[in-house]
Chain A
Amino acid sequence: MLGGEDNLAKAIMSGDEAVARGAYEAGAKVASAYPGTPSTEILENISLYKDDIYCTWANNEKIAVEIALGASIGGCRALAAMKHVGMNAAADPIFSAAYTGVNGGLVLVSADDPGCYSSQNEQDNRLYAPHAKLGMLEPSDSQECLDFTKAAFELSERFDLIMLLRMTTRVCHSKSLVMTGDRKEPEAKKYESNAAKYAMLPVNARRRHVAVEASLERLKEYSYSSPLNRVELNDTAVGVISSGMCYMHAREAFGERASYLKLGITYPLSDRLLREFCEKVDKIYVVEEGEPYLETAVRALGFDCLGKEYTTPQGELDAQRIRKAFGLGEKPETYSSAMAVPPRPPVLCAGCPHRGFYYAMMGYKDRLVAVGDIGCYSLGINAPYYGFDIAVCMGSGFSIPIGLAKALEAQGDGRKVFGILGDSTFFHSGFNSLVDAVHNKANVCLCVLDNSITAMTGHQQNAGTELSLMGCEVPKMDIVEMIKSTGLSGESIFIVDPIDQKAMKAAIERALEIKGTAVIVAKSPCALLKEVVKARGSLHCEIDAGKCRGCKACVKIACPAMAFEGKKARIADPASCTGCGLCMQQCKFDAIRKVV
């Protein structure tokens, strides 16, 4: 089922690119996602095939899955991609759609992030497969990303199951050689009304539950002899069971002599395959990141093995961690130096409008408590702004404040609770929370840091942009009008340019005075947006060394384009300085000016 008589071509691709290519070759017609590292590039690359695949950035992962589900029920092959935490947002449709099964093949991609490179947790989404009743494949490199994506569509249709393609950061963002083939569109499946299969009312759901269990049983049978799983029998003293990128690390750590069971289908697991392998080898090692998912299956069959007791559920594995965990030889010698290297944390870019918001807020620390959210503005938590205390998940920046405000009120704590999130997060789920706040007259100030793009993941379009993922002109949602539609009085809504410190501070002060819900829309586009860069030209700031008294007032905004040397402030990186003028507003000696 893998490969074919295609016009083969060789290319270096990331795992994400290869999934996109796989979807294209498999004849997928619809794809949707909400951006989230490390999954974002899947849809970005699918949009390269927009003549063949209709693709969208959905407002959130639940919507992305539902769009793909609709296409599947309608008879098309469809894909939805998300980062691991996105699958939580999408869990509602996923669990019930598992019962309906598919018409056209339906593939969901979950990109997990062991090690939390860009995430708020390191949940192991393999556990979703048994819980939600999805078939699951785990690729180890880019070639497998392409092949397994194609296989997932076929298996989805053959067994009437939703297939989960489970990836991890290291698979998504590593690049390796891939043989690409041609696109082959499967025969069109007609949409036919079938409420007993697709309308999950209790009477139908009860029957469909039986059906999905039977489908999983059939996939399990198939799994035993599937080429997606591989047994590498060498010396049988040591047998290693692994999947995904962990197999590659294990292969390095245990070397050529050990035997391997490399699992491509990780739900349902073939008991027979596992048992046969375990019986052949003397000592069994299970190498996996996250939860003891494979290990539990091995132990349930009555085999003892070495696993999580050694590798722990935290972090990303690599060959060295595996060697260390299982005592497989010495760590290579390294060089070391006592010289300290200063940290280089990610920072708000030069000219970032969020800096204006957080810098203005610093003056009101004793009068407010702030809750953040997920996006570039998360960086406002760092020095020197320490912009918020709490950040949990998409949209919660507007709902946690509602409960927190009640708790503070109960304790006689008079500080006002501020919520902070961006435009894309507002569309994702923040608006729902805003409705709750207004409806319940919560005493909070909710701030939309609207920079007109989904910035953190690298500039994806959202409901507030004029263009769609496919480059089409689309109606642009107006955030201020949406806020007004909740019935909140115009006197409680403040629209400001956050770089303008006088206006920004005035808005915060007035919001602090309001008893009840206030909203601040801090509106200024991301400084890295192409059109913003173009309009700016060579505009930047200059500091007159003669006028600079070295008071450091300007340096306190913590702009990466500035430096303080020899008791003078200077623009150290004029190429990245945008001439936003935030530093200029701090200078009492008129030493800073904008130049072109």
Chain B
Amino acid sequence: MTVSILLTGVGGQGTILTTKILSSALADMGYEVKMSEIHGMSQRGGTVNTQLKYGDKVYAPNIGEGEADLIAAFEKAEALRALPYLKKGGKIIMDAREIYSLPVLIGQAEYPREADLELRKVAGDISVIPASDMAEKLGSIKAQNICILGALVKALGLQEYDWEGLIASMVPQKTVDINLRAFRAGLAY
């Protein structure tokens, strides 16, 4: 049995760190873990996808269309873009945060404001979590990713692990406190 998770967002949102923390914990729990991140030009404001698979035995690290058990989207339009990857019956956790791409900013394209409603209609199992708002209230929008991590942990049923210890060891020292609070908020949402 392999579980496949796709994390998607925009360069700078911290999807890669989130995947790193998640995979460290899964490895610590004794699973075989593989993650794949394609970076390069994409870090300049483009879409960033990281893919994580865990189970008893994992071969390829990447996830094909219709194969993701869980999609964690850090941005609304990216949740819609990732939809083809969702397995039938799979779940989407998403932040309704909107980040406009350049074609939208300069008026060449329309932003899909109702992407969350559309996803609910098409796919069904959607949790919209206001992670960026919650993180901002806690003091920094940058903790959005760790807030989503909390929601992910809950969705995967992996609460029985010392997540707080791991997060504290993996985020910048100055941000430990806010990240722990963001994690708890995501877990409780």
Contacts and interface: CB of A to CB of B under 8 A. Distances in A.
A109 to B, nearest CB: 17
A248 B78 CA distance: 28
A263 interface: no
A334 B66 contact: yes
Closest 6 CB pairs of A and B: A118-B40, A332-B66, A342-B109, A37-B40, A346-B46, A344-B101
Interface string B177-188: 000000000000
Given A118-B41, A169-B38, A339-B112, A344 B86 contact: no
Contacts of B100: 563, 572
A319 interface: yes
Contacts of A37: 39-41
A115 B68 CA distance: 21
Contact of A376 (B37, B39, B44, B64): B44
A562 B27 CA distance: 41
Contacts of B62: 170, 174, 318
A337 interface: yes
Contacts of B105: 555, 558, 560, 562-564, 572
B65 to A, nearest CB: 5
The interface size bin for chain A is 35 or more
A456 B46 CA distance: 13
Interface string B6-46: 00001110000000100110010000111111111111111
A376 B44 CA distance: 9
B84 interface: yes
Interface string A180-213: 0000000000000000000000000000000000
7 contacts: A173-B38, A175-B33, A175-B35, A248-B61, A337-B83, A379-B44, A458-B43
Given A170-B62, A331-B66, A563-B100, A339 B38 contact: no
Given A174-B36, A563-B100, A335 B83 contact: yes
A580 to B, nearest CB: 16
Contacts of A384: 106
Interface in B52-79: 58-62, 64-67, 77-78
A10 interface: yes
A7 interface: no
Output the residue of A169, A174, A331, A564 with the most chain B CB within 10 A. A174
Given A141-B34, A346-B41, A348-B44, A339 B115 contact: yes
Interface stretch (B117-125, B127-135, B149-157, B159-167): B117-125
Interface of A: 10, 12, 37-38, 117-118, 141, 169-170, 173-177, 245, 248-249, 251-252, 318-320, 331-337, 339-349, 376, 379, 383-384, 456-458, 552, 555-556, 558, 560, 562-564, 572, 575-576
Nearest to A118: B40
A148 B47 CA distance: 33
A152 B59 CA distance: 24
B45 A339 contact: no
B44 A336 contact: no
Interface residues of B, number: 62
A331 B35 CA distance: 22
Given A117-B40, A342-B101, A252 B60 contact: yes
Given A12-B24, A175-B23, A340 B110 contact: yes
B88 A332 contact: yes
A133 B17 CA distance: 41
B189 interface: no
Contacts of A458: 43
Nearest to A141: B34
A248 B27 contact: no
Output the residue of B34, B40, B43, B100 with the most chain A CB within 10 A. B40
A337 B80 contact: yes
Given A248-B59, A346-B41, 10 more contacts: A12-B23, A118-B40, A175-B35, A175-B37, A176-B32, A335-B123, A347-B102, A558-B106, A560-B102, A564-B106
B27 A170 contact: no
Contacts of A556: 106
B110 A344 contact: no
B104 interface: yes
Contacts of B110: 340, 342
Output the residue of B11, B38, B114 with the most chain A CB within 10 A. B38
B104 A342 contact: yes
B103 interface: yes
Contacts of A552: 107
A562 B37 CA distance: 28
Nearest to A559: B105
A344 B44 contact: no
A345 B101 contact: yes
A249 B62 CA distance: 9
Contact of A174 (B10, B35, B81, B112): B35
Contact of A319 (B44, B60, B109, B111): B60
A563 B34 CA distance: 38
